[in-house]
Chains A and B, each alone.
Chain A
């Protein structure tokens, strides 16, 4: 909770703070008391359910679901690995865990400004992603081969997210450039596909990729359902990201472009050296926001029948023993998402603030 606190000098006088921030007027008094009342009323009950009355260990889990029992966290102990790793072979879970750690490390690394050169960024992502892929699918270095239909849980969520980003990013740059191209056919095609894609819900696009694409492509081109869905998702991502980059490109003063042209730089060098770096700097906050949205949207693939973290959570309470514990499982999954998304969006807000300081 980052509420911009009062200046440090005022904090010394806490009575003044109370008066200003809690009891400024009659309405404020009512609001404050009502809010505190709500906390006092609901807080203890929630706290008891979450912690005091909760059943933590699988050993005592017979009491789960009986009246008066608190949260049944035993389900996480018993089925947590299923939620995190899905259908992945049990003895190989360490590979899935390491792969997740690698992708998270890559994501953290790419948040550091020192890495923000095209070369470093692409190196980090390509190396990280290949490590992830090799760890997960195996088949070399003595690792047993594991097919994608056995990937699941958090690892699959991260895989979808990472591959959508990796494929979508370059594609979005191409689309943005195509939409600003001077060649009418290319400009028109890009605009058409971007606008069309953006008018459909992601779910319908993924659905079409899962169901229609196999009809229109010859057998040898179809690939796994997972890859078809990632392809469609990446294109969807690229269409949104392309508009963000286009916004960044439009914010570049015309003089920059003219200066680059007068230096005699060719189109691609103008784009690569002058335009894109500035466009990305302009478009950084919405880009981070787009990543946040994409990460949350990965949960939609449950409807297409992929075994991502939400689906494996469903399977986790879907056996005779744990069928009552769905709230606990949902809370656990919500926490996983919250940790990722919250830190990413906080980071975005931090960048935005930093940039605003730089500009003013």
Chain B
């Protein structure tokens, strides 16, 4: 009996030891490389993608995707200074992550099966949803995509939109002419100069382009057809589960902060006196949130303190504090009629 107890204890100890080492191994290769390098390489754009990655008068990057890159840098290093934004075109996103020029793609990138399997990529949970839709010049007087018979349709090359649009119009048996562009600026100016009748794009981008890219937003209409509901996720190299975990919990924590009304202004008060245990765990008052991911326990606090919660980031770049004034719509949290939700922080 005694022998058995000792054996059981020994087995338990070995198991615990094994778990302990496996916890270290569960950390991410990419995270180790990022820490060793001392900087995070994240995606920018070769020019500007309104609302998501643009350059201000002083040459600073701004936009929703850029802010999520910053949030990731803050989560890892505690400050945005360690972030390096690598300017990339659409078509270079995937080759660049394969070759290691960037550590993560946060660049309005849709989660598709082809990318998930053949391209050797891995995706985080979606952080923003948008319908792929068609914007047309209002003077054409169209009702829906069936009226596009013979029309010229413009899309960005090397994107999921390109495939969605081709499939959708083919399924409607609508004869059309396709023009694809490598550069967002060329695409935008081609549509506004009426080189194209229609501009197929991802909803939020269409709305932003319509509201601020055009001289008069009322001259353009967005057709009711929804080609697809495209979820945008962060894309990473396959085979690094720990890195995916970090991105998933980064997005989740920003949403959790919004749900609990934690903002960059009140985060210090919340941390000093957490109203419930979930918030305590989130802000690192109760340890655990950091160690499990290989990060510092105060990473979520740092992110919220520097970047704000999900709503703050959204409002600053797309929403009411931006020139674009986009409604949250489907991208509101579940308790406000949207589809976004935080994961459960236990």
Residues of A within 8 A of B (CB): 65, 78-79, 81-82, 85-90, 147, 149-150, 152, 210-211, 213-215, 219, 222, 225, 302-307, 311-312, 314-320, 323-324, 326
Tell whether, in the assembled complex, residue B99 and residue A307 are in contact, meaning their CB atoms are under 8 Å apart: no
Check B56 against A319 for contact (C-beta < 8 Å).
yes
Among candidates B57, B85, B86, B212, residue contacting A323 with C-beta atoms closer than 8 Å: B212
Q: A65-B215, A314-B185, A320-B323 are in contact. Are A305 and B89 (CB under 8 A)?
A: yes
Contact A82 B189 (CB under 8 A): no
Contacts of B95 in A (CB 8 A): 210-211
The interface residues of chain A, by DSSP majority, are classed as helix
Q: Please name all residues of chain A whose beta carbon is closer than 8 Å to the beta carbon of B47 when the two chains form the complex.
A: 311, 314-315, 318
A305 to B89, CA, bound (A): 6
Complex: A152 Cα to B96 Cα, angstroms? 19
B345 to chain A, nearest CB (A): 34
With a 10 A CB-CB cut-off, give which of B56, B59, B61 has the most chain A CB atoms. B59
**Are A315 and B60 touching (Cβ within 8 A)?**
no
In the assembled complex, which residues on chain A have CB atoms less than 8 Å from the CB atom of B61?
87
Which of A90, A147, A210, A222 interacts with B59 by CB under 8 Å? A90
| Residue in contact with A149 in the complex, picked from B59, B85, B183, B215, CB distance below 8 Å | B85
Q: Which of A147, A214, A305, A317 contacts B87 (CB 8 A)?
A: A305
What chain A residues lie within 8 Å of B98 (beta carbons)? 214-215
Shortest Cβ distance from B85 into A: residue: A149
Residues of B contacting A318 with CB < 8 Å? 47-48, 50, 54-55, 184-185
Q: Is the CB of B50 within 8 A of A307?
A: no
Q: Identify A147's interface contact among B39, B46, B101, B215, CB under 8 A.
A: B39
Beyond A214-B99, A215-B99, A314-B46, is A90–B60 a contact (Cβ under 8 Å)?
yes
Q: How far is the CA of A304 from the CA of B92 in the complex (A)?
A: 8
Apart from A82-B55, A311-B46: 17 A-B pairs, beta carbons within 8 A: A86-B59, A87-B87, A90-B58, A147-B84, A149-B84, A152-B59, A210-B101, A211-B92, A214-B98, A214-B101, A215-B99, A305-B87, A311-B47, A315-B47, A318-B184, A323-B213, A324-B215
Q: Which 6 A-B pairs have the closest CB atoms?
A: A318-B48, A214-B99, A320-B212, A90-B58, A314-B47, A315-B55
B316 on the A face (CB < 8 A): no
Q: Is the CB of B189 within 8 A of A326?
A: yes
Q: Which residues of B contact A150 (CB under 8 A)?
A: 84
**What are 6 A-B residue pairs whose CB atoms fall within 8 Å in the complex?**
A210-B101, A304-B92, A307-B46, A315-B55, A323-B188, A324-B215
* Chain B 82-113 residues near chain A, CB threshold 8 A: 84-89, 92, 95-96, 98-101
B268 part of interface (Cβ distance < 8 Å): no
A66 to B, closest residue via Cβ:
B215
Within 8 Å by CB of A314, from B84, B101, B183, lies B183
In the complex, B240 has a CB within 8 A of chain A: no
**Please, how many angstroms separate the alpha-carbon atoms of A90 and B39 in the complex?**
21
B182 at the interface (CB under 8 A from A): yes
B59 contacts A87, CB within 8 Å?
Answer: yes
Q: Are B323 and A211 in contact (CB under 8 A)?
A: no
A101 to chain B minimum Cβ distance, whole angstroms, is: 19
Bound: A65/B212 CA distance, A: 13
State in angstroms the CA–CA spacing of A302 and B182 once bound together: 11
Residues in B9-61 with C-beta less than 8 Å from chain A: 39, 41, 46-48, 50, 54-61
Pairwise interchain contact B84-A319, C-beta atoms closer than 8 A: no
Q: Which residue on chain B has the smallest CB distance to residue A212?
A: B99
Is A305's CB under 8 angstroms from B54's CB?
no
- Scan residues 204-257 of chain B and give those whose CB is less than 8 A from a CB of chain A: 212-213, 215
Set of chain B residues within 8 Å of A303, measured between Cβ atoms? 89, 182
Decide: A302 near B46, CB < 8 A? Known: A149-B86, A214-B101, A320-B213: yes
B46 touches A305 (CB 8 A): yes
Q: Give the CA-CA distance A78 to B96 in the complex, in Å.
A: 32
- Given A304-B92, A314-B46, A315-B54, answer yes or no on A326-B185 (Cβ-Cβ < 8 Å): yes
**Contact A307 B87, beta carbon cutoff 8 Å:** yes
Residues of A within 8 A of B185 (CB): 314, 317-318, 326
The smallest C-beta distance from A91 to any residue of chain B, in angstroms, reads: 9
